[in-house]
Amino acid sequence: MPGIKADQQSRWCNQTHDKVVTLKFLMMQKTTLPKVFVIGHHKIATRSIHQLFKVDGYKSIHWKGGRIAETMLKNMRMSQPLLKGIESACVYSDMEYLHDDGEFFYGHRLFPILDLQYPGSIFIFNTRNLDSWIKSQLAHKSKKSGLYVRRIRKGLKTIYPGRKIKNRDVIKMWRRTWQQHEDEVNRYFSGKSNLLRVNIESVESKKQLISSLRTFGYELTSDDLPYVGATPKKRKISSRHGKSAD
């Protein structure tokens, strides 16, 4: 700029940039944006959807060690709004918990209550091939707690005492739960316009999801779901086939 020294110009540019970033952040936090609830099961790109919003500055919470689901259950027991204590976020995903003792709870199954308590919200129903999802479930484990399916077996044993629970019993439950949840989602959202469906194994379906989210006011810069939550080898293979993370 004429008449302005280089160091002054640099400071002015930095200050202007900071103001723009701050303004954009504040605009993103406006309560006019609808909340987004990811109501598909975990291991279906829930972290990828979470990251899609997070990289563009939107407040998104994912799993939190089961604390999202625990908060929802506690609030429901106390006749409080489900999100009391965590209502400041825009996006919620992987709303389940599974304790080491086998107790489990699926908060995403409460989507009708969320729709009632937070009118105008958007619901993302993320799906994938059922058999590949079951394989992913069987392989899922954590360093601290071990195999996911083992803890589910433990939980089922408390429900059916005296009965020997095997993996095939868990798989049978997963298949039944999958179909029941899909039927309930289809029935509840029939005639409604706030459900977005995405098949994470379809490139076009993922693009359509992001395009639809933009119409609701979310300024998303990516045209695909980011890939997170897998080993480098699996990430490399999946990227070639246009797949998203579990």
Confidence of residue 142 (pLDDT cuts 50, 70, 90): confident
pLDDT higher than 80, residue 241: no
Tally of CB atoms within 10 A around 19 = 10
Residue 193, CA atoms < 13 Å, CB-side half-sphere = 4
pLDDT digits 0-9 by tens, 9-53: 666 555 656 655 555 555 554 458 999 999 999 999 999 999 999
The pair of three-digit structure tokens given for residue 8, joined into one six-digit string: 């002054």
Query: Is residue 200 in a domain?
Result: yes
pLDDT greater than 90 at residue 7: no
Q: Is residue 178 part of a domain?
A: no
Q: Which domain holds residue 100?
A: 34-129+193-240
Give 109-120 pLDDT, tens digit per residue. 999 999 999 999
Specify if 165 maps to a domain: no
CATH number for position 68:
3.40.50
pLDDT of residue 240: 43
Any domain includes 111: yes
The DSSP 8-state label assigned to residue 163 in this structure reads P
The pLDDT, as a whole number, for residue 12 is: 57
- Of 43-52, 146-155, 217-226, 236-245, the poorest mean pLDDT is in 236-245
Query: Does residue 104 surpass a pLDDT of 80?
Result: yes
Distance CA 19, CA 107 (A): 39
Structural domain count, the chain? 1
pTM beyond cutoff 0.75: yes
